[in-house]
Amino acid sequence: MDWGNELTRLLNVKYPIIQAPMLGVGTPQMVAAATRAETLGSLPLGDLPAEECKAKIQKTNAISKQPFAVNIFVHKLPEIDDSLRKDYKETRKFLEKLASEHQLEVDFPMLEEIKLTDYHDQIEVIIEEEVKIFSFTFGNLDSESIEKLKRNKTILIGTCTSFKEAKELEASGIDIICLQGTGAGGHRGSFDEDDHSEIDGFSILSEIYEKVNIPIIYAGGIHNAKTLLAVRDLGAQGFQVGSLLLGSKESNLPEFAKERLREAKDEELILTKSFSGRSARGINNTFIKAMEASGNILPYPYQNKLTKALRKSANTNQNTEFLSLWTGQVLPEFSGTSTTDILKHLISEVNNYKPKPQIN
């Protein structure tokens, strides 16, 4: 296969494969390992405070020999009003009772203790640290930020889940779109957090390719040669892989969590807002069932901030029933080898792929 295309030239990589920016899983070591496979590594920064972003970028720069992307969340911050205060109090009370019933010691924060990140502060750090490839999710950047990043000669990659979002990204001057299919693990990158549509990415990829005039990266369900080549034939020029790397040596997941992933069954996978307030795909568990039954799910990022302490306690206690374990609809073997080897194996598989003969 000839891998060279507009994306390889824009991103300065040999292979247009992107290591997905998975917050809580991706590490500087994973990014560096992805670049050693001559693919694009992505450092997940999510909604981390600017000073943490700076430290992570500098750490990655120290160990990576090649350029890499960084990824942040550009969600709108809900206004704190009496309704949110009331809901937060009720949800906090429910979680305290749930944690106590399951012998988890958790100190849940009060609403006033929660600190939120303004993505504009993160952008300042990204420019300061001379990061030249920048991806984002949960919406679009404001025009001032786009202009500022363009002046810095930063390549912009926006996430979309629909044709409408793809057109909006193109119209605002974004360089590349990452179309996230419903089969992708982790959070849905929809602009609207209340968007419950599950339009399959495969069904709109060819339409976006025909009507949107910027390169497309496809994310969701790519785990072998056949799936990669299928989305290429539909118009994708880049291929983002995430679930394939969850069990890797560089993954930040603890071993007990990786083992739970390897034991997972298709019927356990679910889309839920329970952990963060935004839809995410992963393994169903005790917490998700209880939270959804309660009806007390707060908007993002308040639900996410409130459950953070619970997830931390579950991690300490090696309790996967209260841990968010995100993965896509297709469950790979979750190899424990290095990210470099996993990606090189995928590349080799594509290069040597021979289609199965059709049955007449």
Residue 359 located in a structural domain = no
Q: Residue 360: pLDDT above 70?
A: no
If you write DSSP's letter for every residue of 30-93 in order, what string do you get? HHHHHHHTTSB-EEEEET--HHHHHHHHHHHHHH-SS--EEEEE-PPPPP--HHHHHHHHHHHH
Same domain, 227 and 313: no
Residue 53 located in a structural domain = yes
Instruction: Using a pLDDT cut of 90, give the percent of the chain over it.
Output: 92
- Lowest-confidence segment of 75-84, 192-201, 276-285 by average pLDDT: 192-201
Residue 274 located in a structural domain = yes
Same domain, 177 and 210: yes
Q: Return the closest-CA partner of residue 277 out of 81, 66, 84.
A: 84
Report how many helices (DSSP H) and strands (DSSP E) the chain contains, helices first: 13, 11
Same domain, 73 and 83: no
Residue 198, pLDDT score: 63
Dist CA 262 CA 257 (whole Å): 9
Residue 358, pLDDT score: 72
Same domain, 23 and 127: yes
Cα 99 from chain centroid (whole Å): 27
Residue 235, pLDDT score: 96
Residue 235 located in a structural domain = yes
pLDDT tens-digit readout, 224-275? 999 999 999 999 999 999 999 999 999 999 999 999 999 999 999 999 999 9
Which helix (H) or strand (E) segment holds residue 206: the answer is helix 201-211
Amino acid at 312: K
Q: What is the CATH number of the domain that holds 347?
A: 3.20.20.70
Residue 360 located in a structural domain = no
Q: How many CB atoms lie within 10 A of CB 4?
A: 11
**Considering the chain, what is the average pLDDT of its residues?**
95
Same domain, 10 and 127: yes
Cα 175 from chain centroid (whole Å): 19
Q: Residue 139: pLDDT above 90?
A: yes
The residue-averaged pLDDT of 99-127 equals 95
Give the pLDDT band (50/70/90) at residue 29: very high
Instruction: Give the range of the structural domain holding residue 151, as residue numbers without chain letter.
Output: 6-77+116-246+337-351
Residue 69 located in a structural domain = yes
Residue 332 located in a structural domain = no
Same domain, 165 and 205: yes
Same domain, 73 and 193: yes
Same domain, 319 and 224: no
Same domain, 36 and 168: yes
Same domain, 288 and 187: no
Residue 352, pLDDT score: 95
Tokens describing residue 287: 């917490």
Q: Return the closest-CA partner of residue 242 out of 183, 168, 197, 320.
A: 183
Residue 125 located in a structural domain = yes
| Phi, psi dihedrals of residue 50, rounded to the nearest 5° | -55, -40
Count of domains for the chain: 2
pLDDT tens-digit readout, 164-213? 999 999 999 999 999 999 889 999 999 987 765 566 777 899 999 999 99
Same domain, 280 and 210: no
Amino acid at 80: I
pLDDT tens-digit readout, 31-66? 999 999 999 999 999 999 999 999 999 999 999 989
Same domain, 240 and 302: no
